[in-house]
A and B are shown apart, each in its own frame.
Chain A
């Protein structure tokens, strides 16, 4: 019986950490869906957002004000990216846009640290990391809060996509860009909205991950955690990102606990990538992805 509860604990812990992966993957998927571009700069945006938030906190602003200002900064950044990077490259090959996002990520990493400095900062969101007991199993309060935040974020985003005029136009652009333009949808504005939404996701991810790891350069690396999630879920499926994030979270924890002892532990760090390779071999489009995707 104890074993079973332990198993449950591992699964729930895995689900909750999976939510954190989903959070990062969502930013990628959103931009890929709308413009077919793999945004290499998503990790840099997470760092930029977290640094900006912490920077405003250090000015002595309350948390909500810092959040709103950081969000505003991400929206301004989105518009700037559309104007200076995306617009001049309209009609270029996806590979060229991908390379532009590599440049963008290098710029953002430098720019963020130029403004806010390079020292590692702690981030206390005021959420205790004490585990609480629910139904006989121990759950981290912090993970639970992060999961709730992610759930709210996903709900807000999907409501936006489903029920608003701009959300509808955004889905139209994802389906058929030229036809959407012809129907009167201004592409530049839509891209700014998409990058703004990705910036919003980066901010939430930056807060959650920043509180976990400290706000520092290593935050850009959480983007790497999103890669297996996207490969598993498909590059253009939001539902895929959610499910795959959870699957990866659970499977890496289970693998660590139950397979780890046989190979000396440390599985958690590479297991998702092994899983991703297996998926690429068996079902290259991912679980939910469209079959035809140009990989980068």
Chain B
């Protein structure tokens, strides 16, 4: 992605877990201001690790960025305390259900505004409720009692409470019914179009992700193996076959594809 100033750039990062396992091997990507960029790949490719590396969460899991740099909004952010990023307008919506189960929905949302000191938190709360009316109905219930989709909305709402300029959205479709996935993605699109929020979206469900994203990266074995405008990726025969499951000969190709992929894992 050239020509535009990237809001987020990840340059050749390596991530080690426990000084043994090299999970990312020189991964590079950049996200332009106002874009929706998809990070595609299978389980274990390194999508979530990339997200956690950007959010500085690896240290609490005994992981470490051993090489490369991460810049956000012109400043280097690797090495900051994870809580600093919310203050800088960068929010992560983690993979899985990460609502605070014993806190009420409203308390969940209010925690999202922790880093703010302005007096407009109540307005943000109303705005989140207007985006997710279901959360308003359940505002006093413990978030642990919500359905999976509602918890995902709660967590996205919580991220919005920090008034982010950029949201890292990790696997938002996981375990959700297709209709709900569409709803969440269209909310993402709406936030992008109306509020100018930039998104980096890690998704296994490449078919949906490429419909909403403008640009995509394909991650395999801890590095980017393919990148391009979303439309081009969606039309790419190899991606269609192995990630979208759209090719009729996909099954036949599976074996040869796996064989072709293996050397990359070993290299």
Contacts and interface: CB of A to CB of B under 8 A. Distances in A.
Interface residues of A, number: 23
* Most-contacted residue by chain A among B101, B114, B161 (CB, 10 A): B114
A172 to B, nearest CB: 5
A182 B57 contact: yes
Given A176-B98, A176-B100, A188-B81, A169 B111 contact: yes
Contacts of B100: 171-172, 175-176, 179-180
Interface of B: 55, 57, 59-62, 81-87, 91-92, 94, 98-103, 107-108, 110-112, 114-115, 155, 158-159, 161-162
28 contacts: A91-B61, A91-B62, A92-B62, A168-B107, A168-B110, A168-B111, A169-B111, A169-B114, A172-B107, A175-B102, A176-B98, A176-B99, A178-B60, A178-B94, A179-B98, A180-B111, A181-B57, A181-B81, A182-B83, A182-B85, A182-B159, A183-B91, A183-B114, A183-B159, A184-B83, A184-B85, A184-B114, A184-B115
Contacts of B57: 178, 181-182
Contacts of B60: 90-91, 177-178, 181
3 smallest CB-CB distances across A and B, nearest first, come from A184-B86, A184-B115, A175-B100
A150 interface: no
A91 to B, nearest CB: 4
A176 B100 CA distance: 6
Contact of A178 (B91, B98, B114, B158): B98
A90 B92 CA distance: 20
A16 interface: no
Contact of B111 (A91, A177, A183): A183
Interface in A68-97: 90-92
B242 to A, nearest CB: 31
A183 B112 contact: yes
A183 B158 contact: yes
B144 to A, nearest CB: 9
Interface string A114-153: 0000000000000000000000000000000000000000
A172 B142 CA distance: 12
A187 interface: yes
A177 B59 CA distance: 13
Contact of A165 (B83, B87, B99, B114): B114
A184 B59 CA distance: 16
Contacts of A175: 100-103
Contact of A185 (B83, B99, B159): B83
A180 B161 CA distance: 13
B162 A184 contact: yes
B160 to A, nearest CB: 11
A91 B59 contact: yes
